[in-house]
Amino acid sequence: MPKRPEDEVTTEELPLRVPSLPAPSASRFLFEVEGVRYEAVRELEVRPSGERLLKAERRVADGALSGPCLVRRIASPSTYMQRTRMIEEVQLAFRLNHPNIAQVFHMQVDELEDAPYAIMEYVGGPSLETLVCAALVRGKPLSEGFCLYVGAEVADALHYAHTLTSEKGVHLGIVHRDVSPRHIALGQHGEVKVLDFGAAYSLLVGREESPENLLRGDVAYASPEYLRKEGLTPRSDVFSLGVLLVEALTNKHLFEVHDAPVSAAKESRFQTEMQPSLPLGQMQALMESFGPDVVEKAVAHLNEDLKAVLHTALRLNPEERFATAADMRDALRGVAHAQLHEPYGRAEAAKEVARVVSEGGALRDEVEFGEAGIYPDGLEKHELGLPKKG
């Protein structure tokens, strides 16, 4: 989709009211946009915030299906300022046009239901969160080749967003600020997609920013400066990507909550917009004692070149990290070139995704995986690459 000029970033109009959601086995008309009919196929997820994600099909004028998409029913903001911020965030996402970023196509606020809807690119494979869970269940982390490939692709997408300018050449100053396994997905052919720039921070003039005491996204992957509500830069996303890669490479999160005594978790003046995977207070306590020794303990068994990349990405002082996500991308690709015996790309990633999900899924009905679950609600095994039973 071509980039939209700054003056043309507008919401699309959907003429018809969105009806109630369909049953999983049904296919029901949702709405029509510019002659394309959207039909809901399956509800994929209901988030604690009230957001609902639907897989839908697009049917063109002659009745032929033209491919799946994702319809996201966004929780309706309760105040005018919150609604303004939500619309501006979706408009910001319209600007992003990169092969490693899931695109946002349309948005509509249904006046009858007072509910905002967004039509987005559907990524057919699992999230990195699902893959990390499956790898943990099978007892073996994702391969270094896979992590180097995914890390470099994510870094490339982040650099694009970080350096994006308006049609007038104005730097938009975009920072994702929620780079976490939940927001990285693998397509059916091994392509990597960064999801949900809806929490993104931007220097866009006149934009309605989050309240000062509100932390957005999963604080378990947040940079030290974000937890302190200091200025955000692209290096903040670099830190989050480093935390994500450590978890994918080791099957352990860099910040283990049991390492922080409950007494050390002070009540914070900050609030989180979503339930974090690690408590905010204990994350802040852990960050107070964070340093290179914590990183080294986590990555000691990895090869020296890869360890060096992670150490640089995870410096407490932002000025000591990679200056740009592109620098981190190039470093990861350099390690891959030096350490891997064979090239690792989309085809290899697709094979590993299918294998990891299949091996982890073997215990799907026998092991309680916790609240997050190994598979998002409503997703069948065949949709995640698991072999069908006879």
DSSP letter string, 284-295: HHHHHT-SHHHH
Domain covering 24-120, topology = Phosphorylase Kinase; domain 1 (3.30.200)
Q: pLDDT digit of tens for each residue in the chain (390 aa)?
A: 333 333 333 333 333 333 344 444 456 777 777 778 888 888 877 766 667 777 888 877 677 777 888 888 776 666 666 666 666 666 777 788 999 999 888 776 655 556 677 788 888 889 999 999 889 988 999 999 999 999 999 999 999 999 998 888 888 888 888 899 989 999 999 999 998 876 566 655 444 454 434 445 567 898 999 888 787 899 999 999 999 999 999 999 998 765 555 544 444 554 445 555 556 677 777 888 899 999 999 999 999 999 999 999 999 999 999 999 999 999 999 999 999 999 999 999 999 999 998 888 776 655 544 323 334 444 444 443 433 433
Q: How many residues does the chain have?
A: 390
Say if residues 52 and 43 touch (Cβ distance below 8 Å).
yes
Largest CA distance in the chain: 65
Give residue limits of the domains in the chain: 24-120, 128-339
**34 vs 110: CA distance, rounded Å:** 17
Q: Which of 375, 194, 388, 199 is nearest to 276 (CA)?
A: 199
Say if residues 55 and 122 touch (Cβ distance below 8 Å).
yes
Map residue 17 onto helix, strand or coil. Answer: coil
Q: Which residues, including other chains, have CB under 8 Å from residue 20's CB and lie 6 or more apart?
A: none
DSSP letter string, 11-67: PPP--S---PPPPTT--EEEEEETTEEEEEEEEEEE-TTS-EEEEEEEE-TTS-EEE
CATH code given to domain 128-339: 1.10.510.10
The sign of the torsion formed by the CA atoms of 369, 373, 374, 377 equals positive
Helix, strand, coil shares, percent, the chain, to 5: 40, 15, 45
